[in-house]
């Protein structure tokens, strides 16, 4: 089981009231919410291995070089003092301080936590999935990862609809019913359609339904672009014009949209822990941050 950790703690932050606070008054709604999410996931799915995948670089320079608008709208106007990169993600003021706490708690529990620069969590997930010998469940609220779906290898996306108690199981049948594509085809669909949330412009005039129709007619992105050069193809004049004018974008977008599967992962024990790695540190964190029942419920489930 691979967790898109930031996706989950953002959901926890907005789903758990900010009135959930540590003894000193610091909000810990994201921390406790994430612990509750992990408890429910372990309880319901009983994974053998669990990895909390992290964004070591939420906006990699190599992606920005190809498409400068990539996630540009999420860059904070003013980087905090001491920031190590010029691009600091805009995060709610009361969420940012909770992220280091989340990391410390995961480490004390012994839940594998992996982030590798200059890659996003999606790339870490993609690499773990590519290397996995058995079935893989990816827990994410990010549709970009639909591209990893592979029935033959048992890779599916579990997309939270409400908390993590209600998960949309995304497999090839669901993808074809919803979008008319398989996992790899979702990359082509996404880059043609564009994605304002990631700063991907897409091809003007080519929305999701048109992209799906083009992929159905011509097979893949390469087939669509070959049709642009074929006067006998059934592209409409406006489609041909827009695709032709978007050649520069289409040439680089696949590398930006496609999840990397060759991240140099560290050697880490990914087995689901049955007991805390550092009980003393965990006890101190629980007392300082008032993790109470949330942590106790997770420990109980891990020991079952």
Q: Is residue 304 part of a domain?
A: no
Do 99 and 48 share a structural domain?
Answer: yes
The model's pTM is 0.93
The span from the CA of 148 to the CA of 245, in Å, is 29
Do 242 and 117 share a structural domain?
Answer: no
The span from the CA of 45 to the CA of 48, in Å, is 9
Q: What is the mean pLDDT of residues 286-301?
A: 96
Q: Phi and psi dihedrals of 256, rounded to 5? A: -75, -45
Q: Is residue 65 part of a domain?
A: yes
Question: How confident is the model at residue 104, as a pLDDT?
Answer: 98
Q: Assign 232 to helix, strand or coil.
A: coil
54-71 pLDDT, tens digit each: 999 999 999 999 999 999
User: Average pLDDT of the chain?
Assistant: 93
Q: Is residue 41 part of a domain?
A: yes
Confidence tier at 91 by pLDDT (50, 70, 90):
confident
Domains of the chain: total: 2
CATH number for the domain including 113? 3.40.50.1010
Confidence tier at 92 by pLDDT (50, 70, 90):
confident
Residue 45 has pLDDT above 70, yes or no: yes
Range of the domain at 250: 179-257
Residue 75 has pLDDT above 90, yes or no: no
Q: Is residue 88 part of a domain?
A: yes
Do 114 and 194 share a structural domain?
Answer: no
Do 15 and 85 share a structural domain?
Answer: yes
| Other CB atoms within 10 Å distance of the CB of residue 271 | 13
Do 130 and 100 share a structural domain?
Answer: yes
181-217 pLDDT, tens digit each: 999 999 999 999 999 889 999 999 999 999 999 999 9
263-275 pLDDT, tens digit each: 999 999 999 999 9
Q: Is residue 146 part of a domain?
A: yes
- State how far the alpha carbon of 111 is from the alpha carbons of 1, 37, 84, in Å: 11, 14, 26
Q: Is residue 209 part of a domain?
A: yes
Do 144 and 203 share a structural domain?
Answer: no
C-beta of residue 219 within 8 angstroms of C-beta of residue 187: no
Do 246 and 154 share a structural domain?
Answer: no
Do 273 and 184 share a structural domain?
Answer: no
**Is-cis flag, bond preceding 118, omega within 30?**
yes
The span from the CA of 172 to the CA of 185, in Å, is 11
Residue 87 has pLDDT above 70, yes or no: no
CATH number for the domain including 227? 1.10.150.20
Do 230 and 208 share a structural domain?
Answer: yes
Do 66 and 205 share a structural domain?
Answer: no
With tokens 């996992």, the residue in question is 183
Which positions ≥6 away from 138 have C-beta within 8 Å?
1, 2, 4, 125, 129, 145, 148, 155, 156, 157, 158
């Amino acid at each position: 089981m691979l967790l898109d950790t930031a996706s989950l703690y953002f959901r926890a932050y907005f789903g758990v009231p900010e009135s959930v606070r540590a003894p000193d008054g610091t909000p810990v709604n994201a921390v406790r919410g994430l612990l509750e999410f992990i408890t429910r996931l372990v309880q319901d799915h009983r994974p053998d291995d669990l990895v909390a995948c992290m964004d070591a670089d939420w906006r990699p320079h190599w992606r920005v070089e190809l498409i400068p608008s990539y996630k540009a709208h999420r860059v904070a106007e003013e980087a905090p003092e001491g920031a190590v990169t010029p691009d600091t993600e805009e995060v709610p003021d009361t969420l940012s301080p909770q992220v280091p706490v989340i990391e410390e708690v995961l480490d004390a529990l012994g839940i594998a936590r992996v982030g590798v620069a200059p890659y996003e969590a999606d790339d870490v997930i993609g690499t773990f999935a590519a290397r996995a010998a058995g079935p893989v469940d990816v827990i994410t609220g990010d549709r970009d990862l639909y591209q990893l779906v592979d029935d033959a290898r048992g890779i599916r996306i579990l997309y939270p609809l409400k908390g993590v108690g209600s998960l949309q199981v995304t497999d090839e049948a669901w993808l074809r019913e919803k979008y008319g594509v398989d996992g790899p085809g979702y990359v082509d669909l996404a880059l043609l359609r564009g994605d304002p949330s990631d700063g991907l412009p897409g091809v003007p005039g080519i929305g999701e339904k048109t992209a799906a129709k083009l992929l159905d007619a011509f097979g893949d992105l390469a087939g669509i672009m070959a049709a642009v050069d074929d006067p006998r193809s059934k592209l409409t004049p406006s489609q041909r014009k827009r695709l032709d004018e978007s050649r520069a974008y289409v040439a680089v977008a696949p590398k930006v949209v496609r999840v990397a599967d060759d991240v140099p992962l560290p050697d880490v024990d990914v087995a689901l822990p049955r007991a805390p790695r550092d009980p003393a540190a965990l006890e101190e964190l629980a007392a300082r941050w008032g993790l109470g029942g949330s942590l106790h419920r997770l420990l109980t489930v891990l020991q079952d």
